[in-house]
Amino acid sequence: MTSGWIALLDDLATLTKVAASSLDDAAGQAAKAGSKAAGIVIDDAAVTPRYVVGLAAERELPIIAKIALGSLKNKLLLLLPGALLLSFFAPWAITPLLMAGGAFLCLEGFHKVMDLVHPGHGDPKETIPVIQTVEELENERVSSAIRTDFILSAEIMAITLASVATSPVWLQAVVLGVVGAGMTLLVYGAVAIIVKADDAGVALARASHGPVRALGRGIVFGMPVFLKLLSLVGMVAMLWVGGGILIHGLHELGVYAPEEAVHHASESVSNLVPAMKSLLAWLVGAGIAGVLGVIVGALVDPLANHVLIPAFQGLKRALGRKSQA
Protein backbone atom coordinates (compact mmCIF):
# COMPACT_ATOMS: atom_id res chain seq x y z
CA MET A 1 0.00 0.00 0.00
CA THR A 2 2.84 2.34 0.92
CA SER A 3 4.61 1.63 -2.35
CA GLY A 4 1.39 2.52 -4.20
CA TRP A 5 1.24 5.92 -2.50
CA ILE A 6 4.91 6.51 -3.25
CA ALA A 7 4.34 5.67 -6.91
CA LEU A 8 1.33 8.00 -7.02
CA LEU A 9 3.32 10.84 -5.45
CA ASP A 10 6.15 10.18 -7.91
CA ASP A 11 3.69 10.39 -10.82
CA LEU A 12 2.27 13.64 -9.42
CA ALA A 13 5.77 15.08 -9.10
CA THR A 14 6.53 14.11 -12.69
CA LEU A 15 3.31 15.69 -13.94
CA THR A 16 4.07 18.84 -11.95
CA LYS A 17 7.51 19.09 -13.55
CA VAL A 18 6.01 18.60 -17.00
CA ALA A 19 3.35 21.24 -16.32
CA ALA A 20 5.94 23.68 -14.99
CA SER A 21 8.14 23.06 -18.02
CA SER A 22 5.16 23.62 -20.34
CA LEU A 23 4.28 26.86 -18.57
CA ASP A 24 7.88 28.03 -18.82
CA ASP A 25 7.81 27.18 -22.54
CA ALA A 26 4.55 29.09 -22.99
CA ALA A 27 5.91 32.09 -21.08
CA GLY A 28 9.13 32.06 -23.10
CA GLN A 29 7.32 31.86 -26.43
CA ALA A 30 4.88 34.56 -25.36
CA ALA A 31 7.77 36.88 -24.45
CA LYS A 32 9.51 36.14 -27.75
CA ALA A 33 6.36 36.76 -29.79
CA GLY A 34 5.55 39.89 -27.80
CA SER A 35 8.97 41.39 -28.50
CA LYS A 36 8.39 40.99 -32.25
CA ALA A 37 5.21 43.06 -31.97
CA ALA A 38 7.03 45.97 -30.30
CA GLY A 39 6.58 48.33 -33.23
CA ILE A 40 2.82 47.88 -33.27
CA VAL A 41 2.56 48.32 -29.49
CA ILE A 42 4.59 51.55 -29.50
CA ASP A 43 2.54 52.99 -32.34
CA ASP A 44 -0.72 52.00 -30.65
CA ALA A 45 0.37 53.73 -27.44
CA ALA A 46 1.33 56.85 -29.41
CA VAL A 47 -1.94 57.03 -31.37
CA THR A 48 -4.57 56.19 -28.75
CA PRO A 49 -4.31 59.36 -26.56
CA ARG A 50 -5.77 61.44 -29.40
CA TYR A 51 -9.14 59.77 -28.87
CA VAL A 52 -9.64 61.60 -25.55
CA VAL A 53 -8.47 65.03 -26.75
CA GLY A 54 -11.11 67.67 -26.08
CA LEU A 55 -13.11 65.56 -23.63
CA ALA A 56 -13.60 66.21 -19.91
CA ALA A 57 -10.66 65.10 -17.76
CA GLU A 58 -12.87 62.90 -15.57
CA ARG A 59 -14.03 60.96 -18.66
CA GLU A 60 -10.54 60.17 -19.98
CA LEU A 61 -9.87 57.01 -17.96
CA PRO A 62 -13.40 55.55 -18.42
CA ILE A 63 -13.07 56.03 -22.18
CA ILE A 64 -9.64 54.39 -22.24
CA ALA A 65 -11.10 51.52 -20.19
CA LYS A 66 -13.87 51.07 -22.81
CA ILE A 67 -11.31 51.03 -25.62
CA ALA A 68 -9.14 48.53 -23.71
CA LEU A 69 -12.16 46.25 -23.16
CA GLY A 70 -13.00 46.43 -26.87
CA SER A 71 -9.38 45.64 -27.72
CA LEU A 72 -9.42 42.64 -25.39
CA LYS A 73 -12.62 41.36 -27.04
CA ASN A 74 -11.03 41.83 -30.46
CA LYS A 75 -8.06 39.70 -29.49
CA LEU A 76 -9.58 36.98 -27.32
CA LEU A 77 -13.10 36.52 -28.73
CA LEU A 78 -12.51 37.13 -32.46
CA LEU A 79 -8.86 36.97 -33.45
CA LEU A 80 -7.68 34.15 -31.16
CA PRO A 81 -10.30 31.59 -32.35
CA GLY A 82 -9.75 32.75 -35.94
CA ALA A 83 -6.00 32.29 -35.60
CA LEU A 84 -6.41 28.76 -34.21
CA LEU A 85 -8.80 27.80 -37.03
CA LEU A 86 -6.36 29.21 -39.57
CA SER A 87 -3.50 27.28 -37.99
CA PHE A 88 -5.50 24.04 -38.08
CA PHE A 89 -7.17 24.26 -41.50
CA ALA A 90 -4.83 26.47 -43.56
CA PRO A 91 -1.37 26.73 -41.98
CA TRP A 92 0.05 27.47 -45.43
CA ALA A 93 -1.77 30.82 -45.36
CA ILE A 94 -0.08 32.10 -42.20
CA THR A 95 3.09 33.40 -43.88
CA PRO A 96 1.30 35.19 -46.79
CA LEU A 97 -1.17 36.79 -44.35
CA LEU A 98 1.67 37.82 -42.07
CA MET A 99 3.47 39.38 -45.05
CA ALA A 100 0.28 41.24 -45.99
CA GLY A 101 0.19 42.59 -42.45
CA GLY A 102 3.87 43.53 -42.76
CA ALA A 103 3.07 45.46 -45.94
CA PHE A 104 0.30 47.26 -44.04
CA LEU A 105 2.79 48.25 -41.34
CA CYS A 106 5.14 49.54 -44.05
CA LEU A 107 2.27 51.57 -45.52
CA GLU A 108 1.42 53.10 -42.13
CA GLY A 109 5.09 53.87 -41.50
CA PHE A 110 5.42 55.42 -44.96
CA HIS A 111 2.45 57.70 -44.27
CA LYS A 112 4.13 58.88 -41.07
CA VAL A 113 7.37 59.55 -42.94
CA MET A 114 5.47 61.59 -45.54
CA ASP A 115 3.73 63.51 -42.77
CA LEU A 116 7.15 64.55 -41.50
CA VAL A 117 8.22 65.66 -44.98
CA HIS A 118 4.85 67.13 -46.02
CA PRO A 119 2.56 67.66 -42.98
CA GLY A 120 -1.00 66.61 -43.73
CA HIS A 121 0.04 64.29 -46.58
CA GLY A 122 -2.57 61.64 -47.25
CA ASP A 123 -4.98 62.80 -44.55
CA PRO A 124 -8.42 61.40 -45.38
CA LYS A 125 -11.20 63.89 -46.01
CA GLU A 126 -13.60 62.85 -43.31
CA THR A 127 -17.17 63.93 -43.04
CA ILE A 128 -17.65 65.12 -39.48
CA PRO A 129 -20.85 63.58 -38.12
CA VAL A 130 -23.47 65.72 -36.43
CA ILE A 131 -23.14 64.84 -32.76
CA GLN A 132 -25.65 66.31 -30.36
CA THR A 133 -24.51 64.97 -26.99
CA VAL A 134 -21.28 64.27 -25.14
CA GLU A 135 -22.30 60.62 -24.87
CA GLU A 136 -22.59 60.33 -28.66
CA LEU A 137 -19.17 61.94 -29.05
CA GLU A 138 -17.66 59.45 -26.59
CA ASN A 139 -19.31 56.50 -28.33
CA GLU A 140 -18.02 57.73 -31.70
CA ARG A 141 -14.46 58.04 -30.34
CA VAL A 142 -14.57 54.61 -28.69
CA SER A 143 -15.96 52.92 -31.83
CA SER A 144 -13.31 54.55 -34.02
CA ALA A 145 -10.53 53.54 -31.63
CA ILE A 146 -11.73 49.93 -31.45
CA ARG A 147 -11.92 49.69 -35.27
CA THR A 148 -8.34 50.94 -35.56
CA ASP A 149 -7.27 48.62 -32.76
CA PHE A 150 -8.72 45.62 -34.59
CA ILE A 151 -6.23 46.05 -37.44
CA LEU A 152 -3.28 46.45 -35.08
CA SER A 153 -4.49 43.56 -32.91
CA ALA A 154 -4.81 41.32 -35.97
CA GLU A 155 -1.17 42.01 -36.81
CA ILE A 156 -0.07 41.30 -33.23
CA MET A 157 -1.93 38.00 -33.21
CA ALA A 158 -0.58 37.08 -36.67
CA ILE A 159 3.00 37.71 -35.54
CA THR A 160 2.35 35.65 -32.42
CA LEU A 161 0.78 32.80 -34.38
CA ALA A 162 3.72 32.69 -36.79
CA SER A 163 6.05 32.35 -33.79
CA VAL A 164 4.22 29.28 -32.44
CA ALA A 165 2.87 27.78 -35.68
CA THR A 166 4.61 24.43 -35.09
CA SER A 167 3.57 24.14 -31.42
CA PRO A 168 0.63 22.07 -30.13
CA VAL A 169 -2.78 23.72 -30.42
CA TRP A 170 -3.15 24.15 -26.66
CA LEU A 171 0.20 25.94 -26.48
CA GLN A 172 -0.78 28.17 -29.40
CA ALA A 173 -3.99 29.10 -27.57
CA VAL A 174 -2.14 29.85 -24.31
CA VAL A 175 0.54 31.97 -25.99
CA LEU A 176 -2.02 33.86 -28.10
CA GLY A 177 -4.13 34.51 -25.00
CA VAL A 178 -1.15 35.63 -22.90
CA VAL A 179 0.22 37.92 -25.61
CA GLY A 180 -3.23 39.34 -26.41
CA ALA A 181 -4.08 40.11 -22.78
CA GLY A 182 -0.55 41.24 -21.92
CA MET A 183 -0.27 43.61 -24.88
CA THR A 184 -3.67 45.11 -24.12
CA LEU A 185 -2.75 45.78 -20.48
CA LEU A 186 0.65 47.14 -21.48
CA VAL A 187 -0.65 49.47 -24.19
CA TYR A 188 -3.68 50.88 -22.40
CA GLY A 189 -1.94 51.02 -19.03
CA ALA A 190 0.75 53.14 -20.68
CA VAL A 191 -1.92 55.23 -22.44
CA ALA A 192 -3.69 55.87 -19.12
CA ILE A 193 -0.41 57.08 -17.57
CA ILE A 194 0.36 59.29 -20.58
CA VAL A 195 -3.12 60.82 -20.62
CA LYS A 196 -3.13 61.64 -16.90
CA ALA A 197 0.49 62.80 -16.77
CA ASP A 198 -0.55 66.38 -17.60
CA ASP A 199 -3.07 66.45 -14.75
CA ALA A 200 -0.48 65.06 -12.35
CA GLY A 201 2.04 67.66 -13.51
CA VAL A 202 -0.44 70.51 -13.03
CA ALA A 203 -1.33 69.24 -9.54
CA LEU A 204 2.35 69.08 -8.54
CA ALA A 205 3.06 72.53 -9.97
CA ARG A 206 0.14 74.11 -8.10
CA ALA A 207 0.37 72.34 -4.76
CA SER A 208 4.12 72.21 -4.19
CA HIS A 209 7.21 74.37 -4.08
CA GLY A 210 10.83 73.97 -5.02
CA PRO A 211 11.98 70.80 -6.80
CA VAL A 212 8.55 69.17 -6.75
CA ARG A 213 6.98 72.18 -8.41
CA ALA A 214 9.76 72.20 -11.01
CA LEU A 215 9.06 68.51 -11.65
CA GLY A 216 5.39 69.25 -12.20
CA ARG A 217 6.16 72.06 -14.65
CA GLY A 218 8.67 69.79 -16.39
CA ILE A 219 6.00 67.11 -16.85
CA VAL A 220 3.50 69.62 -18.27
CA PHE A 221 5.94 71.12 -20.77
CA GLY A 222 7.67 67.82 -21.51
CA MET A 223 4.63 65.69 -22.42
CA PRO A 224 4.11 67.19 -25.93
CA VAL A 225 7.79 66.52 -26.70
CA PHE A 226 7.50 63.01 -25.26
CA LEU A 227 4.43 62.24 -27.40
CA LYS A 228 6.22 63.43 -30.55
CA LEU A 229 9.25 61.30 -29.66
CA LEU A 230 7.00 58.31 -28.97
CA SER A 231 5.31 58.79 -32.34
CA LEU A 232 8.72 58.96 -34.05
CA VAL A 233 9.89 55.77 -32.33
CA GLY A 234 6.63 54.10 -33.31
CA MET A 235 7.13 55.11 -36.95
CA VAL A 236 10.67 53.71 -37.05
CA ALA A 237 9.59 50.53 -35.28
CA MET A 238 6.70 49.95 -37.69
CA LEU A 239 9.01 50.26 -40.70
CA TRP A 240 11.63 48.02 -39.12
CA VAL A 241 9.11 45.36 -38.05
CA GLY A 242 7.19 45.51 -41.35
CA GLY A 243 10.33 45.24 -43.47
CA GLY A 244 11.67 42.45 -41.28
CA ILE A 245 8.44 40.48 -41.61
CA LEU A 246 8.64 40.71 -45.40
CA ILE A 247 12.30 39.63 -45.51
CA HIS A 248 11.67 36.67 -43.23
CA GLY A 249 8.44 35.80 -45.05
CA LEU A 250 10.28 35.61 -48.36
CA HIS A 251 12.79 33.25 -46.72
CA GLU A 252 9.93 31.05 -45.51
CA LEU A 253 8.54 30.95 -49.07
CA GLY A 254 11.87 29.86 -50.50
CA VAL A 255 13.33 33.22 -51.55
CA TYR A 256 16.53 33.17 -49.49
CA ALA A 257 18.61 35.92 -51.11
CA PRO A 258 17.19 38.98 -49.25
CA GLU A 259 17.64 37.52 -45.76
CA GLU A 260 21.09 36.16 -46.63
CA ALA A 261 22.11 39.59 -47.97
CA VAL A 262 20.96 41.29 -44.77
CA HIS A 263 22.82 38.71 -42.66
CA HIS A 264 25.99 39.18 -44.71
CA ALA A 265 25.82 42.98 -44.43
CA SER A 266 25.22 42.79 -40.67
CA GLU A 267 28.18 40.44 -40.20
CA SER A 268 30.50 42.56 -42.35
CA VAL A 269 29.76 45.79 -40.48
CA SER A 270 29.68 44.25 -36.99
CA ASN A 271 33.11 42.65 -37.51
CA LEU A 272 34.62 46.14 -37.82
CA VAL A 273 34.02 46.77 -34.10
CA PRO A 274 34.13 43.41 -32.25
CA ALA A 275 33.27 45.03 -28.90
CA MET A 276 29.90 46.17 -30.29
CA LYS A 277 29.33 43.26 -32.65
CA SER A 278 25.82 42.30 -31.48
CA LEU A 279 24.56 45.89 -31.35
CA LEU A 280 25.97 46.78 -34.77
CA ALA A 281 24.58 43.61 -36.32
CA TRP A 282 21.12 44.46 -34.99
CA LEU A 283 21.34 48.10 -36.09
CA VAL A 284 22.38 47.18 -39.62
CA GLY A 285 19.66 44.54 -39.94
CA ALA A 286 17.00 46.85 -38.53
CA GLY A 287 18.20 49.73 -40.72
CA ILE A 288 18.00 47.67 -43.91
CA ALA A 289 14.55 46.40 -42.92
CA GLY A 290 13.44 49.99 -42.22
CA VAL A 291 14.62 51.23 -45.62
CA LEU A 292 12.85 48.32 -47.27
CA GLY A 293 9.76 49.25 -45.26
CA VAL A 294 9.75 52.77 -46.71
CA ILE A 295 10.16 51.43 -50.26
CA VAL A 296 7.37 48.87 -49.84
CA GLY A 297 5.12 51.49 -48.25
CA ALA A 298 5.68 53.82 -51.21
CA LEU A 299 4.77 51.00 -53.62
CA VAL A 300 1.68 49.90 -51.67
CA ASP A 301 0.34 53.45 -51.20
CA PRO A 302 -1.01 53.95 -54.78
CA LEU A 303 -2.29 50.39 -54.82
CA ALA A 304 -4.23 51.00 -51.63
CA ASN A 305 -5.56 54.41 -52.72
CA HIS A 306 -6.56 53.53 -56.29
CA VAL A 307 -7.45 49.84 -56.08
CA LEU A 308 -8.01 48.39 -52.61
CA ILE A 309 -9.88 51.26 -50.95
CA PRO A 310 -12.22 51.93 -53.93
CA ALA A 311 -12.89 48.19 -54.22
CA PHE A 312 -13.72 47.96 -50.51
CA GLN A 313 -15.98 51.02 -50.67
CA GLY A 314 -17.75 49.60 -53.73
CA LEU A 315 -18.31 46.29 -51.98
CA LYS A 316 -19.60 48.11 -48.90
CA ARG A 317 -22.08 50.12 -51.00
CA ALA A 318 -23.22 46.98 -52.82
CA LEU A 319 -23.83 45.16 -49.56
CA GLY A 320 -25.69 48.19 -48.23
CA ARG A 321 -28.01 48.29 -51.26
CA LYS A 322 -28.57 44.53 -50.98
CA SER A 323 -29.54 44.79 -47.32
CA GLN A 324 -32.01 47.58 -48.12
CA ALA A 325 -33.63 45.64 -50.98
Question: Does residue 10 fall inside a structural domain?
Answer: no
Supply the pLDDT for residue 77.
92
Spell out the residues 6+ positions from residue 191 whose beta carbon is closer than 8 angstroms to its own.
45, 48, 49, 64
Q: What is the 3-state secondary structure (H, E, C) of 256-323?
A: CHHHHHHHHHHHHHHCCCHHHHHHHHHHHHHHHHHHHHHHHHHHHHHHHHHHHHHHHHHHHHHHHHHH
* Structural domains in the chain (count): 1
Question: Does residue 39 fall inside a structural domain?
Answer: yes
From residue 287, alpha-carbon distances to 13, 62, 67, 240 in Å are: 49, 39, 33, 7
The type of residue at 289 is A
Supply the pLDDT for residue 270.
85
Supply the pLDDT for residue 229.
82
Domain span at 142: 26-324
Question: Does residue 21 fall inside a structural domain?
Answer: no
Question: Does residue 9 fall inside a structural domain?
Answer: no
pTM of the full predicted structure?
0.72
Tens place of pLDDT for every residue, the chain, 325 residues? 455 444 444 544 443 344 444 445 555 555 555 555 555 666 666 667 777 766 777 888 888 899 999 999 999 999 999 988 988 888 888 888 888 888 888 988 898 888 888 776 555 444 445 555 777 778 888 888 888 788 778 878 887 887 777 778 888 888 888 888 888 888 888 888 888 887 888 888 787 677 878 888 888 888 888 877 877 887 888 888 889 889 988 998 999 999 999 999 999 888 888 888 888 888 899 899 999 999 999 999 998 888 877 777 777 777 667 666 6
Question: Does residue 11 fall inside a structural domain?
Answer: no
